[in-house]
Amino acid sequence: MKKGKIYLSGPDRLRKDAKEQFEKKKELCESYGFELLEYPCDIYINKDTYDNNVALAKKRLKMIEDCDILIGDVNDFRAYVEPFGETALEFGIAYGFGKKIYGYMKDARNCAQRYSGEKTFDEENKRWTDKDGIGFEPGPVNLMLEYGGKIIEGDLEDALKLAGKEWEFYVHR
C-alpha cells in the first residue's frame, strides 16, 4: 500500500523542544503507516531575514502540495475561540490543492459553548454573540475550517487513527 505523506500544521514548531517533539511525532505517524514530512522548527530561523523567510514559506508551500494529508492543531491560540492563524492559512492552502484535511482539538464543543464570558442569543441572525455584539461561529471552529476539513476532538493520535482508517479505504478504492 502506498504510504501516505503527512504535513503537520500548528504552533508546536514554536516550542523550545520542537525538534524533539518532531521526532516523537514522526514515530507516531510511522506507527500508523504514515510518513511525516519534516516541518521547520522555527526557533532556529526566528531572527532570519525576510527573504529567507519567504524562501522557507515557498518550500513549505511545496511540501503541502506534495503531501497527501494535512493534519492541523486547531486548539485556541492567543485568542478566544480562534486557532493559530498559520494553521488556518495552511488549511486553505491544502484545500486549494485538494488534500485530505483533519484538525484536532482538546475541546470540540461549539464556539459559544467554549466561550466563558458573557453571551446573548441574537434572534435575528440566529447566532450567539459576545458582550460586544460580535457573533460566534455555529461549530467548534470557523465554518471554512469545519467544512474544509474534518474536526476531531482529541489529539494528534486521534486524528491519525481516523486518517489511517480513511487512508486505507481511499487507497483500496
Partner 1 sequence: MFIDKNGVVRKPVVYLADFEMFLPTCEETVACWKKTCEKYGFIGLFPGDGDPVEPGEDFWKRVFLHDYNHMKNCDMCIAQLDDWRGHECDSGTAFELGWYIAKGMPAYGFYGGKSPLKERNIEKDEHDPSFDKNGYMIEDKEYPFENMFTLVKIGKDFEEACRLARADFDAILVKNGYEPYAVE
d(CA 57, CA 153): 29
Question: Can you say how many angstroms the Cα of residue 100 is from the centroid of all Cα atoms in its chain?
Answer: 12
Q: Does residue 43 touch partner 1 according to CB under 8 A? A: yes
d(CA 94, CA 101): 7
- The least CB distance from residue 7 to partner 1, in Å, is 12
Binding to partner 1 by CB under 8 A, coded x per residue (else -) over 67-96, reads -------x--xxxxxxxxxxxxxxxxxxxx
Stretch that binds partner 1, among 23-31, 35-43, 154-162, 164-172 (CB under 8 A): 35-43
Stretch that binds partner 1, among 23-31, 145-153, 156-164, 165-173 (CB under 8 A): 145-153
Q: How far are the Cα atoms of 36, 77, 150, 155 from residue 25, in angstroms, in the given order? A: 8, 20, 20, 11
CB atoms within 10 A of CB 73: 20
**156: which DSSP letter?**
H
Q: Does residue 120 touch partner 1 according to CB under 8 A? A: no
Question: What cell numbers appear for 69 in the block?
Answer: 494529508
Q: Of 24, 58, 109, 165, which one interacts with partner 1 (CB under 8 A)?
A: 58
Stretch that binds partner 1, among 11-19, 28-36, 153-161, 162-170 (CB under 8 A): 11-19
Q: Does residue 138 touch partner 1 according to CB under 8 A? A: yes
d(CA 95, CA 150): 12
Q: Is 14 helix (H, G, I), strand (E, B) or coil?
A: helix
* Signed CA dihedral, 37, 152, 138, 115: sign only: negative
Q: Does residue 139 touch partner 1 according to CB under 8 A? A: yes
- The least CB distance from residue 83 to partner 1, in Å, is 6
- The least CB distance from residue 33 to partner 1, in Å, is 26
**Positions that interact with partner 1 (CB under 8 A):** 11, 14-16, 40, 42-43, 45-48, 50, 53-54, 56-58, 60-61, 64-65, 74, 77-97, 133-139, 141-148
